[in-house]
């Protein structure tokens, strides 16, 4: 056996139920679910949807609390360019992009990998970008209780690109600021740092 294996586990009963719905959808749009290319599509689609909505079964607060450490560091901590993938709740089409998150500690820091995990928890739900921004912001603010939190999300929405207005190059930016980041100088420092290449 390999020293490490990453396994995906699915509730069989729920997967089978969602699978049956996908089979019905394919039939309703005029497809033949018995043809070779589609025989396993309902099951694959069911597993994909359950994967993409796993955030409903995860607790972002517990993720943060599981890696909080007392520390006197009190300067800005930024995790930028966090990839995110979500589903628009209006059309269930993907939107994807990057999140930039910063906080100013007030006696506690958090393991750096936990911030992207919090982003994923809220992104893996049916969302609108505005609420996603606020969900991440408020979770960090209420759990870590820092001196300030900032979140900026830049994303492209397939519901705008594939249908409707069909604008291929539009990007939506949302932001939220609490505490010290409500001060213009702190906010500007954060915005300057996430837009610059420091490498």
For residue 43, the cross-strand partners are none
Which among 88, 100, 139, 180 is annotated as catalytic?
Answer: 88
Are 119 and 136 spatial neighbours (Cβ–Cβ below 8 Å)? yes
Which among 90, 130, 142, 182 is annotated as catalytic?
Answer: 90
Which among 91, 108, 138, 154 is annotated as catalytic?
Answer: 91
Which among 100, 127, 129, 180 is annotated as catalytic?
Answer: 129
d(CA 74, CA 104): 6
Please say if 6 is a catalytic residue. Answer: no
Are 103 and 139 spatial neighbours (Cβ–Cβ below 8 Å)? no
Which among 89, 130, 142, 182 is annotated as catalytic?
Answer: 89
Which among 127, 139, 157, 180 is annotated as catalytic?
Answer: 157
Quick one: tokens of 177?
């600021």
Strands (E), 18-158: 68-70, 77-88, 94-104, 108-110, 126-127, 148-157
Residues whose CB falls within 8 Å of the CB of residue 57, separated by 6 or more in sequence, listed in order: none
Token pair 């911030």 in the structure block, residue = 115
Please say if 139 is a catalytic residue. Answer: no
Which among 31, 43, 159, 189 is annotated as catalytic?
Answer: 159
Catalytic residues: 88-91, 129, 157, 159
């Amino acid at each position: 056996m390999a020293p490490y294996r990453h396994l995906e586990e699915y509730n069989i009963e729920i997967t089978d139920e969602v699978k049956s719905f996908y089979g019905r959808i394919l039939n309703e749009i005029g497809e033949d679910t018995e043809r070779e290319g589609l025989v396993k599509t309902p099951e694959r689609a069911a597993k994909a949807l359950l994967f993409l909505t796993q955030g409903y079964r995860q607790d972002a607060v517990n993720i943060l609390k599981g890696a909080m450490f007392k520390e006197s560091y009190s300067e800005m901590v930024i995790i930028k360019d966090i990839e995110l993938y979500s589903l628009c709740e209006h059309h269930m089409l993907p939107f994807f992009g990057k999140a930039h998150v910063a906080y100013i500690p007030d006696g506690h820091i958090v393991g750096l990998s936990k911030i992207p995990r919090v982003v994923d928890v809220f992104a893996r739900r049916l969302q609108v970008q505005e609420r996603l921004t606020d969900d991440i912001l408020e979770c960090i603010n209420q759990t870590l209780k820092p001196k300030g939190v900032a979140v900026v999300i830049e994303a492209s929405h397939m519901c705008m690109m594939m249908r409707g207005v069909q604008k291929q190059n539009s990007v939506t930016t949302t932001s939220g600021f609490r505490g010290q980041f409500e001060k213009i100088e702190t906010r500007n420092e954060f915005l300057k740092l996430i837009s610059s290449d420091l490498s």
